Structure 1
Amino acid sequence: MLRINLAETVRPRTIVKALAVLAVSALVAGCQSKSENVSGMRVVELDPGTRGPVAGVGIEGQDIVSMTDRMMRDMMSTPVLASAARPPQIIVDGEFFENESAQRLNKNAITDRLRVGLNRNAQGRMVFVGRHYAEMVAQERDLKRQGVVDQATTGLTKAQAGGDYRLGGRISSVDSRNPSNGMVQRYNQIVFEMVDLERGTIVWSGIYEFARAAQDDIVYR
């Protein structure tokens, strides 16, 4: 009778231990499975001025860096823009910078970088008009003139700043494809021009062009 009671006492404990071991084993196996089956690729830091692992035949990040640096240097060496007796007021934005190429592209990525580079390097030789901020400026001017806010430290002007010159330009491309092997070739041309806003003359022009070919082009967004 004593032997039967002891067996009955040991058996439930053994079962509980076995279940605990199985639970821990399943948990460990689940963790190992998750860690071993991680898909994708770790984040890689890239130099914006160099070609990355995802590239096609169109305008890439390194092209934007290269072209804006080149245009900035050329404009800074143009006397009518950088050596005038009175610093000209210039508008650099994407309003009249047209994209007629086969590629989807954010034009502001080009014009913003060009404007920032010029503004940092001009050191007072050019004055940049933020025409894309005209609505914001108009709201503040109205508040000042209504007496809602004070005149700040620079005083009032009769009107917002006008522009002497404004950036215009065009992005275009010529594409060709070989149907037998899927090879794609694209010629890319980006033209920059600075226009006299009173006379309509072009006081400066710059061009950036390149051609690339690939068998499988990527999708640009």
Structure 2
Amino acid sequence: MGLEQYKELSNSEQEQFRKIVNYLFNSNYMLGYNYGNKNRLRSPNRDYNFLLRYFDLFSLYFEIAGYELRRYDDYNVVSLTNIYKENHLRLDKFTTMTLYFLRLVYDEYKDKNPNSEVVYLTIETIVKKMLELGVITKKPPLYLVADTFRTLNRYNIITRLDKSFDDLSATIVLLPTIIYVISNEKIHAIYNYVFSLKTEDSVANEEEMMEV
């Protein structure tokens, strides 16, 4: 049926379709549940359900634009990837280190809690653990920490549970998208990247960038 199926959608469904397309172009990932509830209770994501219902139509639309839509049903995640390897996010050193560390945290937590999909922890805890484990050698400035977590939030790698990213006591939710952002193959590459920079004097060097 192809794109003709789009014309058969109601006006409200077409509007929802456009909003989801725009969302994925900007965020790359969509999850089946919302996790920002302060009671730590997840709620179904209606846009995700709509996306699955018309997955073939969405896939065709993105394919025409040069993108691939993928489903990961084990964790209720959908990702959007540019097939020409363009539009990759270039990350500064501290953000790269944080991503690497968060993937390790997620794996460790899942080993102990296989039925849980997300991890709750404070920004302060993350920074302290990174220092203790030698992932970073100096305490980063607050503005850099806040910018890093805003970036991760934008791409649905984390979400904020309370307060603001400028507050180290804020609780964040580490989402299962971290598995697909930092694949097993990328872990080794990032490990080599991170620890080749450990001996540098600065916590973050804006000239040091890595694509993820």
TM-score w.r.t. structure 2 length?
Answer: 0.24
Judging by fraction of residues, say which structure has more helix: 2
TM-score w.r.t. structure 1 length?
Answer: 0.23
Judging by fraction of residues, say which structure has more strand: 1
Rg (Cα) greater in structure: 1
- Determine which structure has greater relative contact order: mean sequence separation of CA pairs < 8 Å that are 6+ residues apart, divided by chain length: 2
